Amino acid sequence: MSAAEALMKGNRLAAGKCPEHGKVLVTKGEFKENGETVGRVYKCPLDDCTFEVVARHGTRLMKLLR
């Protein structure tokens, strides 16, 4: 992967999009630890894409994806 590709993927993720396809991420469900909800799981809306990311409450990523 070139530096330009890595920068593009980072910019896409920072905008709340799938780094591979550029589609807006959708909520998959809640992320729980020890029975307590501590964040959300987001995924690419394309069926053939396996990209998922966990955003914990109070993090910068959670604020971007709201």
Q: pTM of whole model > 0.85?
A: no
Q: What is the mean pLDDT of the chain?
A: 89
The per-residue pLDDT for 60 is 83
The answer to whether residue 4 scores a pLDDT higher than 80 is yes
Q: What tens digit of pLDDT does each residue of 23-45 get?
A: 999 999 999 999 999 999 999 99
The one-letter code for the residue type at 32 is K
